[in-house]
């Protein structure tokens, strides 16, 4: 068979969970389509069970949950937030939006997570928080980071968009920072198109988060019958997820175990099937340190250089396999330069790996035949 006759393998295809379409139609038919309806309550309960978080709130996106965390921290113009340069824009822009200065830190060459050994040198009198992103759902060194945060009185916010279902030394990711955010965007393990959540440890912070999420009002308390009218109490915005989306999210969360089993099977097949080829061609596979349970969010390879990374993407496209590079360093981006500052040591590792990284298709409905085709296509590439 010529490659052209094969069905293309997309980079991602959102999984449709059992009951997802039923719940969707129930939600639409019963007419509770705005936020905080019956499905939001169900999804929130499931989320608390799966993450162990004392307080969880569904939001319109992970970006908005990060914006909420910036509001909850009471950040003021000129405050500084230490954040990885190798990250999605939201873990910097959410704080810049409050006038805070993202201070970009380099990543570790093995896990591609924020380099915990560089954090202390980036702390100044204006530092207020450390933002961590568990890249590919592999945990940052939370023990070291937690100690630094405690010593300097800094908040820790976990951008846990990749790490839902992951763990560090037996504890779920998202339970280390005072606040953690999740994404249910179409590209994530559990998805409802667009959506997110804020996980909060402290009840007083959760109480304020509930107000910020409801336009700065105590409308949530009003709906629970705890106050007889709702009033404007704080600044805030509209961060509620529609119950139509929460309905789909409920079904996804109920299928979490099955989705994860399937994703792990794909991840493991890549890891095993590509090991010899990677070793032979000087290609690095993901590193999962002892004590890290990863949720098979993404599978990536580090090619020796940019030319080979592009070469592999083109080679795979020719075989009908859609592969993708990932984050471009935030410290070097136009808005990163304008609103942020690079930590004194610069971000040489980030600049290096951003050019060499490629992600392979990984989704729950990728069947064994397709996985075998991806492995065959990758191993057919000769590094030059």
Ligand X SMILES: *Cc1c(COP(=O)(O)O)cnc(C)c1O
Q: Which residues bind ligand X (CB under 6 A)?
A: 61-63, 88, 90-91, 133, 159, 161-162, 183, 185, 196
Q: CB of residue 305 vs ligand X: minimum separation in angstroms?
A: 25
Looking at the Cβ atoms of 196 and 236, the one nearer to ligand X is 196
Looking at the Cβ atoms of 115 and 218, the one nearer to ligand X is 115
Neighbours of 170 (CB within 10 A): 7
Looking at the Cβ atoms of 188 and 262, the one nearer to ligand X is 188
Can you tell me the distance from the alpha carbon of 103 to that of 82, in angstroms, rounded to the nearest whole number? 5
Looking at the Cβ atoms of 88 and 256, the one nearer to ligand X is 88
Q: CB of residue 196 vs ligand X: minimum separation in angstroms?
A: 4
Residue whose tokens read 């069970």:
49
Looking at the Cβ atoms of 196 and 329, the one nearer to ligand X is 196
Q: Are 134 and 188 in contact (CB under 8 A)?
A: no
Q: CB of residue 174 vs ligand X: minimum separation in angstroms?
A: 12
Looking at the Cβ atoms of 148 and 157, the one nearer to ligand X is 157
Q: Is 243 helix (H, G, I), strand (E, B) or coil?
A: helix
Q: CB of residue 140 vs ligand X: minimum separation in angstroms?
A: 12
Q: Are 91 and 131 in contact (CB under 8 A)?
A: yes
Secondary structure (DSSP) of 108-177: -TTT-SB-GGGHHHH--TTEEEEEEE-GGGPPP-HHHHHHHHHHHT-EEEEE-TTTTT-EETTEETTSSS
The CA-to-CA distance between both ends of the chain, in Å, stands at 27
Phi, psi of 142, deg, nearest 5: -65, -25
Q: Is 359 helix (H, G, I), strand (E, B) or coil?
A: strand
Q: CB of residue 172 vs ligand X: minimum separation in angstroms?
A: 17
Q: CB of residue 340 vs ligand X: minimum separation in angstroms?
A: 16
């Amino acid at each position: 068979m010529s490659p052209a006759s094969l069905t293309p393998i997309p980079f991602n295809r959102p999984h449709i969970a059992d009951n997802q379409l039923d719940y969707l139609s129930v939600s639409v038919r019963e007419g509770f389509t705005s936020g905080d309806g019956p499905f939001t309550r169900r999804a929130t309960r499931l989320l608390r069970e799966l993450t162990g978080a004392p307080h969880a709130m569904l939001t319109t996106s992970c970006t908005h949950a990060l914006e909420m965390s910036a509001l909850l921290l009471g950040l003021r113009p000129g405050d500084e937030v230490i954040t990885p340069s190798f990250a999605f824009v939201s873990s910097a822009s959410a704080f810049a939006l409050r006038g805070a200065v993202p201070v970009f830190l380099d990543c570790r060459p093995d896990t591609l997570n924020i380099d915990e050994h560089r954090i202390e040198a980036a702390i100044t009198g204006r530092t207020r928080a450390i933002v961590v992103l568990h890249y590919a759902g592999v945990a940052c060194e939370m023990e070291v980071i937690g100690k630094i945060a405690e010593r300097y009185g800094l908040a820790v916010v976990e951008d846990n968009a990749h790490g839902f279902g992951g763990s560090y030394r037996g504890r779920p990711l998202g339970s280390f920072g005072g606040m953690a955010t999740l994404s249910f965007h179409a590209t994530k393990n559990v998805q409802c198109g667009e959506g997110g959540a804020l996980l909060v440890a402290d009840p007083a912070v959760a109480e304020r988060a509930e107000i910020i999420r409801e336009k700065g009002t105590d409308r949530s308390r009003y709906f629970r019958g705890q106050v007889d009218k709702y009033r404007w109490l704080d600044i805030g915005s509209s961060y509620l997820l529609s119950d139509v989306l929460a309905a789909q999210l409920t079904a996804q969360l109920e299928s979490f175990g099955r989705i994860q089993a399937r994703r792990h099977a794909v991840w493991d097949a890549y890891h095993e099937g590509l090991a010899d080829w990677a070793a032979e061609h000087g290609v690095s596979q993901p590193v999962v340190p002892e004590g890290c349970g990863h949720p098979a969010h993404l599978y990536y390879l580090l090619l020796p250089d940019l030319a080979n990374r592009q070469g592999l993407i083109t080679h795979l496209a020719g075989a009908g396999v859609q592969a993708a590079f990932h984050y471009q360093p935030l410290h070097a981006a136009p808005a990163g330069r304008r609103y942020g500052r690079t930590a004194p040591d610069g971000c040489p590792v980030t600049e290096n790996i951003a050019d060499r990284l490629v992600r392979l298709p990984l989704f729950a409905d990728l069947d064994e035949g397709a996985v075998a085709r991806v492995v065959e296509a990758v191993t057919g590439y000769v590094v030059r």
